[in-house]
């Protein structure tokens, strides 16, 4: 039984994390934004923009991953932790590197050899146990499991390092600075320190240490002509809107109000407070914030969508319909607004 449990643990360790374990967040504006900021990177990677899909995952951890073909999953915690659009683009460039290299379909290249090692160790352990050498059998199994894990981890670290370099190439081709990528890896490094993750042993990890990744990438990015290119102002403004909307939706209302206090009337702040008031059961205050948002731009379909949504979900169906119709008129190709 102990042998079976050890093998099961190894098998689970070799499997990618399940995408279905978290909730999926759908928002027309956010998904349009993902498509816009990723388009030059997708082109640089030689991929078809129609085939790459972005999925926002409701998870506070700072993470992103690729699974199921050309689907990029981005955790909500990654967006709320990012300071600018270039940091998000740096992460997307890395994930596109996984897609371009076909890492999903090449998973067996790493798992296969590791599984063979574990099976051979199982056979050796079983023979030892059958011969009456139980302790020797468990030692064989333990060594085999360690060797299998080590081989697989080396494989994934190599993939990650290659993908970091591919992401740097895509950013360069798209004329986007790598400063965002470096800043984001430094955030991950800070998280490793906070979680007391050892910084002296890279061999027990699926990814290289963030400090290693920063050192390897800095020498590439600093030579790139785009290094000193600032974030696109229009995209940065959209990023701030998306971030404010997301924080309003996923964070506890008191924390939202602390981050976006009354009197701050940027689009991000109005979005955040509108969602926070609406989620906490204060429709009048939510409508006040939404009305201020619409006043910034009466023709913005996403502002109108939010106003209509609050009216609809507050039971004011008749009042919501004209607002939602105007939103659809301004964004006739957004199915999530239409429905």
Instruction: Assign residue 325 the CATH number of its domain.
Output: 1.25.40.10
Query: Which domain-ending residue is among 197, 225, 250?
Result: 250
pLDDT (mean) for 188-216: 62
User: Is it the case that residue 177 has pLDDT exceeding 90?
Assistant: yes
**Dist. CA 170–CA 176, nearest whole Å:** 9
| Domain tally, the chain | 2
Q: Which two tokens stand for residue 218?
A: 């800095």
Q: Please tell me whether residues 307 and 189 are part of one structural domain.
A: no
58 and 203 belong to one structural domain: yes
Indicate if 213 and 260 belong to the same structural domain. no
Residues 239 and 280 in one domain: no
DSSP character string of 13-34: HTSPPPGGGSEEE--HHHHHHH
**Contact between 151 and 189 (Cβ < 8 Å):** no
Confidence label for 164 from pLDDT (cuts 50, 70 and 90): confident
pLDDT of residue 33: 97
- Indicate whether 30 and 119 sit together in one domain: yes
Do residues 256 and 273 touch, judged by C-beta distance below 8 A?
Answer: yes
Half-sphere exposure of 245 (CA within 13 A, CB side): 21
Q: Are residues 114 and 234 in the same domain?
A: yes
**pLDDT band with cut points at 50, 70 and 90 for residue 107:** very low
319 and 197 in one domain?
Answer: no
Residue 9 structure tokens:
């643990």
Q: What is the pLDDT of residue 160?
A: 77
pLDDT at residue 329 is higher than 80:
yes
Provide the greatest CA pair distance for the chain. Answer: 82
Tens digits of residue pLDDT in 109-162:
434 444 444 434 444 344 444 545 455 445 444 444 544 454 444 445 566 768
Asked which of 221, 250, 279 is the last residue of a domain, the reply is 250
| Domain identity same for 49 and 2 | yes
Q: Are residues 287 and 144 in the same domain?
A: no
Which of 250, 277, 311 is the last residue before a domain boundary? 250
Mention every residue, 6+ apart, whose C-beta is less than 8 A from residue 173: 40, 43, 44
Q: What is the mean pLDDT of the chain?
A: 79
| pLDDT at 8 exceeding the cut of 90 | no
Q: Does one domain contain both 290 and 231?
A: no
Structural domain for 14, as ranges: 1-250
Same domain, 33 and 162: yes
Question: Are both 266 and 199 inside the same structural domain?
Answer: no
The pLDDT, as a whole number, for residue 12 is 36
What does the pLDDT look like over 44-81, one tens digit per residue? 999 999 999 999 999 998 888 888 778 999 999 999 99
- The residue assigned the tokens 């098998």 is 11
User: How far out from the chain centre does Cα 165 lie?
Assistant: 19
pLDDT at 98: 84
- Mean pLDDT, to the nearest integer, of 242-252? 96
Q: What confidence score (pLDDT) does residue 248 get? A: 97
């Amino acid at each position: 039984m102990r042998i079976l449990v050890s093998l099961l643990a190894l098998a689970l360790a070799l499997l990618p994390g399940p995408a279905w374990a978290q909730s999926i967040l759908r928002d027309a504006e956010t998904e349009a934004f993902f498509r816009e900021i990723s388009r030059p990177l997708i082109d640089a990677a030689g991929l078809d923009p129609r085939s790459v899909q972005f999925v926002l995952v409701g998870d506070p951890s700072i993470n992103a991953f690729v699974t199921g073909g050309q689907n990029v999953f981005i955790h909500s915690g990654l967006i709320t932790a990012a300071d600018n659009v270039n940091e998000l683009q740096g992460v997307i460039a890395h994930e596109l590197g996984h897609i371009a290299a076909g890492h999903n379909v090449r998973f067996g290249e790493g798992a296969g050899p590791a599984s063979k090692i574990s099976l051979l160790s199982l056979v050796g352990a079983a023979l030892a146990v059958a011969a009456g050498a139980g302790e020797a059998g468990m030692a064989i199994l333990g060594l085999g499991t360690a060797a299998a894990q080590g081989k697989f981890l080396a494989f994934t670290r190599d993939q990650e390092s290659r993908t970091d370099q591919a992401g740097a190439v895509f950013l360069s081709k798209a004329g986007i600075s790598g400063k965002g990528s470096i800043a984001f890896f430094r955030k991950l490094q800070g998280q490793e320190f906070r979680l007391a993750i050892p910084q002296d042993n890279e061999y027990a990890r699926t990814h290289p240490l963030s400090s290693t990744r920063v050192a390897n990438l800095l020498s590439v990015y600093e030579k790139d002509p785009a290094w000193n290119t600032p974030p696109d102002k229009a995209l940065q403004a959209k990023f701030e809107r998306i971030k404010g909307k997301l924080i309003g939706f996923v964070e506890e209302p008191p924390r939202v109000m602390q981050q976006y206090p009354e009197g701050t009337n940027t689009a991000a702040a109005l979005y955040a407070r509108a969602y926070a008031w609406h989620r906490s059961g204060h429709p009048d205050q939510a409508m006040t914030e939404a009305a201020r948002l619409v006043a910034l731009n009466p023709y913005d379909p996403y502002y109108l969508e939010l106003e209509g949504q609050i009216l609809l979900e507050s039971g004011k169906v008749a009042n919501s319909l004209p607002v939602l119709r105007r939103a659809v008129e301004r964004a006739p190709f957004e199915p999530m607004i239409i429905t």
